[in-house]
Structure 1
Amino acid sequence: MQLAGQLWGRMQHFAVPEIQAMLKLAKQQVLPWFCPLTSNLISPGGSLLLTLSGHSLYVSAVALTPDGKKVISASADNTLKLWNLETGEDEWTFQGHSGSVNAVAITPDGKRVISGSSDNTLKLWNLETGKDERTFQGHSGSVFAVALTPDGKRMISASSDKTLKLWNLETGEDERTFKGHSDPVLAVALTPDGKRVISASHDSTLKLWNLETGEDKRTFYGHRDYVRAVAITPDGKRVISASSDSTLKLWNLETGEDERTFYGHSGSVYAVALTPDGKRLISTSHDSTLKLWNLETGKDERTFQGHSGSVFAVALTPDGKRLISASSDRTLKLWNLETREDERIFNCHSGFVLALALSPDGKRVISASFDSILKLWNLETGEDERTFYGHSGPVLALALTPDGKGLISVSHDRTLKLWNLETGKDERTFYGHSGSIYALALTPDGKRVISASYDRTLKLWNLETGEDERTFYGHSGRVDALALTPDGKRVISASYDRTLKLWNLETGEDERTFYGHSGRVDALALTPDGKGLISVSYDRTLKLWNLETGEDERTFYGHSDSVYAVALTPDGKRVISTSHDRTLKLWNLETGENERTFYGHNGLVYAVALTLDGKRVISASNDNTLKLWNLETGEEIATFTGEAPFFCCAVAADGVTIVAGESSGRVHFLRLENV
């Protein structure tokens, strides 16, 4: 069913007549399918040789046997696995740890393996029998790293208890403890002569220790964030460190000098490996790339990969021809929906980009970031026209005033700010909340704004005077969502305290509290006539409320887990919900009937979007798929499988172009064919 889509996703860029002929033939199928508009999946004939699947949670570490024929993996599922690299077979699973396995090292003879775990222990395993030969106890925190001495008789472990320990493999004795770091120790490496050890820490430093005396011989300062990995050059004279500050550094072990800094990654650098000749370095990063560096010149010789991190937000230009995406890779991208080309990258933030707002004319975009700043970008030139400094915490949400001249931002620093888009001036800061602000809503006249906070209150602010006109008290849990009635006179709030409240903006009166949910309320939607309210909850239900009477007119039961998202059909008569239970459900708002359940996903469903005619629905799931459904029959019309969980999806104005964001950072452009 997916053959045509997979072929187009992986091979359309091959300028080979036979392949192009095959793709044209595949496109002639008569069944509905998602046709990728770009080569959006891993191509055949590349460097990927084998994928080893079997762990039930993420893989933390790997080590190769000396003969290079097998690999050991360590996982957060509390196990290690021994894999055959020729066949891909899982030859052995090592069970015994009661916490995630974070580190692994193989003895020089290739017969035994050491593991370090979040259960505060290390274990010595026999690779032939799978037997747990010895458990090393002594750390008071998780073991993050382990390294063996060249003779294979001793090992050094690094722990969250801020220490390193030297162990005798035969006796299990804790021979020495190395104290000096002020935060957890994340990585460790031994010099080739086995006489010195380098440790890397959460305290942003590296330390050089004498293995025999335990003396702290040198501390290396320079990184601005956690140091996550280290590697020593074959001659034992220099060390490379990788950090959460997105850089690598080359240090002289004798002098402590920072000889070179390698810039280029846009996320934390997690791991490093030296080529055997010691001349080049490979690094891996949270930005989802690998880089090959020349150690002498510091040059980034090659990047192995759009986006290199999760996509958090998307916005379409008013003409529907271009799309802006915001990512954890700290960038925005401008995409041409017609050509699928990445027209421009906006790269200046030093933190995740969390929110976007487009100017009414569609010519500029404002971005908000974890780095506490906002930026105004010109979409045509890519120019960073203005940076808005002032917040002291991550910026979580944005709203433009109706005239497009002012911008309101809310932050983790507990404030709102009103900015002049032309001057960049912070015209007003709204102080008053005692907790992070999660939601905001502008009144239709653009003169006032309502904010909702972790401090359990809402506030009504006058944008002209900055005055806190009113504080709405009543919730006993944080307020996560807001919805204004169409006349702009009342606001509905949804809270962790399991209630909704209807507030009169003029009097501040809590006109009505809606009781009934037994779990936090996560999202709200008003019916088109403004008389009804739909809420979805962690308690696995949806509710339809009468705004005037406060009556719970209907509860929609049927989901077996938390409800995440809702979408109303264009006529306002039915609602679609998505859930952690891996299904979508179509509900009749008048009767409360569950008209249809859409089965097919094998992971939680994050997002839902309706086509403009209201006849079909697209769902996005962490099972790595997008699905197209017939709303009337419940039939699964087509499926597209990506290579990572899908977080978001949107339908373009033509009704057949689909844009979807993956956790890997890919933005997929697909066209519905034969629909």
Structure 2
Amino acid sequence: MPEAVGKLQLKSSFKTTQTIRPLYTGGKVAISPDENLLITTVGDSVIVTDIHNGNNVFHLSGDSELITTFAITPDGNQIITSSRSLVVKIWDLKTGLIKKSFKAHEAPIIVMDIDPTSSLVATGSADSTVKVWDIDENNQWTLISGADDCNIRVWDLQDRKCVAVLKSHVSMIRGLDMSNDGRFLISGSRDKVVNIWDFNKKVLLKTFPIFEIIETLGVLQPNTTISNTEEDFEGELFYTGGDKGIIRIWDFQTGKLIKTQEPEKNTKHVISDIIYLRKSNLLTAITSDQNILFYHINSGLRRVKQIIGYNDEIIDLAYVGKGETHLAIATNTEQINLYNIKSFDFNIIYGHTDIVICLDKSYDGTVLVSGSKDHTARIWNIDVDNENLDHRVKCLGICIGHTAAIGTVAFSKKSLKFCLTGSQDRTIKYWDLSYLDDQSKPDENFRPRALYTNKAHDKDINSIAVAPNDMIFATGSQDKSVKIWSINDGKLLGTCSGHKRGVWSVQFSPVDKTIVTSSGDKTIKIWSTTDFTCLKTFEGHTNTVLKASFLTSGTQLMSCGSDGLLKLWTIKSNECVATLDNHTEKIWALTVRKDENVVVSGGADSLINLWEDCTTEEMEKRVKEEEEQILKEQDLANYLLKKDYKNAITLTMSLNQPFRLLNLFTEILNGRTEGDTSITGSESIDNIITNLSKDDLEQLLKYIRDWNTNAKHFRTAQTILHVILKTFSSEKLLEINGIKELLDGLLPYTERHYQRLDRMITDSFLVDYTLHSMNIIDTLHMDISDNED
């Protein structure tokens, strides 16, 4: 271990500078008419987000019941929400405040829509009824509804009656829209067909087979052009989305398929809704895995933007990009999420066919390796600065050979020559990646070679780490052991034994020949890589320690665990110098930025926290406070010298020095002159106490309560208490926070001292004060009891 730290400043404080929270947990999604706001549901709340920068505009808190649906008025001024509590709320989108709330149905509202004038809202409920509410002014409108009875109904809202029932579908109606001229109605159902109806005659004109369970559809605006189509076409178009997870555009007149979105690789999601953004000519797909995908219509349904609504459990994290501007996130799904820390920009990396478990990056952040339950590891080229969304991430090869899930991966620390994988099949593999140095990089069809495979442990391998010099590597396993290996030939060099439960993480020191390990036995250990002995053990977590990383050039550690806490340790002293708490569940992921000023943690609570080192800031703040304290102390000495008791008392209370204040009051009381009519011995002191603010009065009463417990200070305490009880009304005293507890602390000692004084009859005026105090305190207790009743 290093003896001298030199000019290295040990870290002692971290603060959260950014928290990436769930944005969408399922249900309805809407985008404001000006296309600037994204409105989503998270549990019982509605979140309004700036779609361009990700800033939270409003958090519309619910009533502890899940939001079932909502709608935004076409003028963009109001949001109407409904929840399982059956209450409908109308929110002002400019202020985020509730304008009105009412109960609408006898069962939860499932669907909701608002007319083009923003005056009427139609609600469809699980109670089999549709209701129309006037939220602004009276109008005459026609309403069209579809239900799980497979029928479409047309309602005359003026006469409040159903004027037509359209029957043809044989499954639940999932989409309705009107042609641009209002002559035709289009309907889509889970029976995999789309129907075109003559709306005036209320008759079926055409049926188009879609060969997909339809969840949503809509009509595009006139004269919409789409590039990369096989032939020109005229007339209206409509779009569909459903269980195939792709957007398709069709000819309204013929039912011919015009354009299909390029499928995302190895996806299993369903499109639950599509939002048509007319202004920017985008179709926004809402997927069953809580992602929001934007496709540009004119450019042939090319994906131009992604918003990740819900990260699920954060399993692993890695900084990527040359400037470490992005985070690669493994989130208990088949995809890897790529998040731009500085802007509201996402990429979803598709490719794996099962949950991604682990990530690691190359030394320069341009290549990422991922391990998955699909038994493969994938190599990815990361070009975060590429303006073309499709070219930011490219698969450069798939490592195939393990027979079970890959639980850990590790990249070379100095080059792009190799990576290591560890699997539940209990083997480690060394993969030759020297081909990455070639300028003409391969695609995902390339299969890197495994130069050697070793059976490493008797149970699952949880962690692999490569030494800074690329000469050795370490593995940690559920079999409680840590092993050190030679990189060149995979030869076992030694075993570190001592943990009492499985080892969850291993990492090499950046400066010493040591490794740090964390375990299910709630400890962190530092081991020598030369003689494989345990050098230090750190205890403090109350549950499994899942990750531990070196900080401050190897002189400190940051750890995280199943207790939801991060802990900062100083190695030399074995001291935990800080505990960071902003997670509610176990913390699986921990990564450190190269400059070691930012630590990122991710947990099972779906939160990602960025913790920034604020040690220097805290030290400067502490020095400033100490300087201010010295100046105040000097001012206080000057006030006392000048007998400026008003400022002296105020300053003493601000410095929170009750004993010094007690001495000040005692000195004044002892200096009382004969014939003085004041209570404290000074008229000015009486006035100062009389004019105390509510907060200062509360603080002074706490001081008196403490002084009152000591017989030596009883006389002073009772005198000051008498001033307060004589000059402040009971109504004023009852406004003080915790007055009941304060009085409970005062009364027993006041009674005891009164009995003692009454027997001795040595200080008649103090006996009177004490009796008076007791009577007032009793009265106040009665007032408190009356208020509580």
Q: Which has the higher helix share?
A: 2
Q: Which has the higher strand share?
A: 1
